[in-house]
Every structure is written in C-alpha cells, then in structure tokens.
Amino acid sequence: MAIGVARRGLVGGLAVVRGHHARDGGKQARGTGDNNDGITENRPAKYRCAKHTDYTDHAPSPRVASHATHRYACKYSGSGPVTAHRINTENSGTGAKTSPATDISEITGTGVVTHGGNLRQAIAQYGGDPADWMDLSTGINPHAYPAPPIAADAWHRLPEPDARLVDAACAYYRAPVLLPVAGTQAAIQALPRLRAHSRVAIVSPTYAEHALRWREAAHAVTEISPADIDIHIDHCDVLVICNPNNPTGHRTTPDLLLAWSQRLASRNGWLVVDEAFGDMEPALSVAAHCQQPGLIVLRSVGKFFGLAGLRLGFVGAVPVVLERLAALLGPWAISGPAQQVGVAALSDDAWQRDMRARLADDGLRLRQLLAQYLPATSGTDLFQWCAAPVPTALHEHLARHHIWVRLFPNAARGLRWGLPAAKSDWARLDLSLAGFQIGA
C-alpha cells in the first residue's frame, strides 16, 4: 500500500511498526534491540533530580540527586536580568527583576497548554462580536493563500495520497523526502511514541506542545536555554529546537544544527528541528539534509500560507522514521480538500514571491510600531515577541480595546504580536498602545 512518503519519483512502502514502543508510549523499558533508526534501546535516566524529575549525568550518587547537587547544571536555578521599559506594565516603569529562569516552560501548573487564536475565549471574557476584534494572538499570515475551488469528488472520495502534493512540497521546501501530516502538531504528538524511553532536551521557551507531548509519552524532559545546548547535547538522546523559534525568534545556523544532529545520530539520537516559521528564511532550513540519520525536520503550511485551518504540514527524515510515523498516523491523514489546496499553494511561485515581499514590509512595520512603545522586541516577519516582565496589564488594556495578543503569563513572560491585517488595524493598534497608562 502506497503512502505519501516519496523521494522525488520514489514512493515508499508502508512499514509495520516494529517493537512495542509505539504502542505502549515507551513504558516498557529495555532492550528493543532496534537501534539502527534512532529508535534506541531504553536508557533510563541515570540520576533524577528530586525536584525536577529530569536527568542529570554528573551526580555521582545517589541515583536520586538532590536539587542542590546538580544545581550548577540545572536550568531551573537563578534569576533573570534586570531590564528597563518604556511600557513596564505592573512594575511602575522603573524596571523590574524578571521571573527566575525556573519558569521557562509555558505549560501551566495543571499541565494545560494555552494557544493563540482563541478568539471565542476572548469574546466570552471581554464581550463584542468577532467582527469587532483584531486577532493578533497567532503568528499566522493574515493574508491567507486564496484557496482554489475544490473538486466535488474531494468531498466524496476517500483521500488517496496524491503524489503531486509530495512533489510540490519537496520542490518548495527543497527537501529530498517528505511525509505529509495533518499539521505538524500531528507529528509533534506522534514522534515521542516512536522512541523508547529517552532523555529529551527542549530548547525553551518555545512552542509548548513539544515538551508536553514528550512528557506525556513518559520520556525524561529537560527544558534548556539556547546558550546551554553545548552542555546538554552529549547527555540527551533527543534535542528539540524551533528555528526560528516561536515566540522569541531565536535563530540557529544550519551548520550548528547539522553538527548537533551528527553528534546525536552517533548515539542513535534525534535532532528534531521545527521550521514552522521558516518560510521567510530559506537559508536557515536544514530540510535539504533531512536524510541525514537522526535529523527530523517539521514544516507547517499553516503559518506563511495563512492556512492553519487546512491542517497540513510535512516531516522530513530518513525513510524508516517516516514509514513508522505514517503507520502510526494511519490512513487518510490528509483530507482530499487539504491535498488539493496544498498542491496549489506549494506550487504557486508568484504568490510566494509576492507574499515574502509583503510580509517583509509588514514585519518591519510591526517592529517599528512596537519600538515606539516597548522595550526591544524580537521575532520573525510573522510575529514579534516582547519579554515585558509582567505584561498582564497591557494585555488587559488591549483586550478591552478588542485587540487580542498572546499573553505568556507563566514562563517566558511576555507578549507576542501577530501582524495586523487591514490598514485600519495598524492605526487602531497604534492608538491603543499610545493610550496605555501604567497602573491605569
């Protein structure tokens, strides 16, 4: 049975998921003996920090280390820098200590991940109609690709994989091999189930679903800052990184990524690179190298094409990983309409070129607008991130003006701003920011 994994011109076969780990969430621990494709034999965390239940390699004894014994390498210690702000929300404008670095996970205490795009929640809380609201809470391009009319049989027939989709995606992403998935979220949820128990380092703060899903599958997860990758790279089995990162916009060079990937692969490890926001910066992508053992690349059609509702994304990796992923995700993962729209969007060079130019302008405009009111921002052309210390008052102020930005209240404390769509939206955002009074 054919699946939609293809090297150009070559359609892969559906592989049976071998071993037990894909079915049991990695709970059965040892000795899969299946170690030629990154699905490693189980290596339990040698030493667990009693406070964080993460791994440490340096504590000599006992197996359960106290927090104090591993604190020097533990990213849960210390305080953030002191920063000054033009808008400094609930800190009276004098500058305030940010929260300790303990807080780099965006997952709340109850284990729930919040996401942007939750306008119904905003309306329930602050009133108004959808038409009154400006939704800046995601990094999705507000100028969506104009989906072509859908052939009638796409609604009726079971969605057979269409080789044109993979061909268009391989050409667009410059990748030798790709598996279509129903949004990269589907892969983010499935990948942890392809490995036996692993030590997973997630470069944070980042898209919180990564940490959540690896933890859910009973792996030992540690969230680390970009500066500490070198410390962790040889002590983890999987490293997960977003490039460019959401929400901070932090970028990592392909050379570094490929070197890390090789180091991990030499121990049957994986480097998972989430390039969901990579469309504007093709030079950053490692998709072309996704057949390098141990490298897994995620690409989303939702962001740059503004087609988040389509639920389409791609995974690049060595064929055996893609085959196992495809088997886990099951048949008909991509709807017929999504396949049709995907082929059109990924093949439309003229739209892509024009949109890159338009988003470069809009991205610059957003940076310049925010710079009038906020401390330094970072991000991509699709969003800006501002690490204001306690930004809830500004979020509240904007919400009362029916402008919905993404608040990160727990972890990377700050606000993320997507692009306004209409001319009038830019003016409205400007006016609303100008009206913000600290303590009002």
Ligand X SMILES: Cc1ncc(COP(=O)(O)O)c(C=O)c1O
What is the binding site for ligand X (CB under 6 A)? Answer: 183-185, 207, 242, 246, 274, 276, 300, 302, 308, 313
Return the number of the residue (184 or 222) whose C-beta is nearest ligand X: 184
Q: How near is the Cβ of 198 to ligand X at its closest, in Å?
A: 20
Q: Which of 439, 385, 388 is nearest to 136 (CA)?
A: 385
Whole-angstrom distance, CA of residue 305 vs CA of residue 361 = 16
Q: Which of 240, 190, 198 is nearest to 218 (CA)?
A: 198
- Tokens 């604190």 correspond to 71
Whole-angstrom distance, CA of residue 239 vs CA of residue 347 = 32
Return the number of the residue (134 or 242) whose C-beta is nearest ligand X: 242
Q: How near is the Cβ of 386 to ligand X at its closest, in Å?
A: 17
Q: How near is the Cβ of 376 to ligand X at its closest, in Å?
A: 21
Return the number of the residue (85 or 406) whose C-beta is nearest ligand X: 406
Do residues 272 and 298 make contact, with C-beta atoms less than 8 angstroms apart? Answer: yes
Whole-angstrom distance, CA of residue 94 vs CA of residue 88 = 7
Interacting residues of 101 by C-beta distance below 8 A, sequence separation 6+: 75, 76, 77, 78, 79, 80, 225
Return the number of the residue (203 or 308) whose C-beta is nearest ligand X: 308
Q: How near is the Cβ of 342 to ligand X at its closest, in Å?
A: 12
Q: How near is the Cβ of 29 to ligand X at its closest, in Å?
A: 29
Q: Is 279 helix (H, G, I), strand (E, B) or coil?
A: coil
Q: How near is the Cβ of 397 to ligand X at its closest, in Å?
A: 25
Return the number of the residue (184 or 377) whose C-beta is nearest ligand X: 184
- Could you count the other beta carbons within 10 Å of the beta carbon of residue 247? 29
- Could you count the other beta carbons within 10 Å of the beta carbon of residue 155? 10
Return the number of the residue (38 or 278) whose C-beta is nearest ligand X: 278
Q: Is 118 helix (H, G, I), strand (E, B) or coil?
A: coil
Q: How near is the Cβ of 143 to ligand X at its closest, in Å?
A: 17
Cα 185 to the chain's mean position, in Å?
8
Q: Which of 429, 293, 432, 297 is nearest to 367 (CA)?
A: 429
Return the number of the residue (19 or 117) whose C-beta is nearest ligand X: 117
CA 357-383-349 angle, to 5 degrees, is: 30
Return the number of the residue (183 or 269) whose C-beta is nearest ligand X: 183
Q: Which residue is nearest to ligand X (CB)?
A: 183
CA 183-185-186 angle, to 5 degrees, is: 80
Q: How near is the Cβ of 104 to ligand X at its closest, in Å?
A: 15
**Cis peptide bond N-terminal to 130, omega within 30:** no
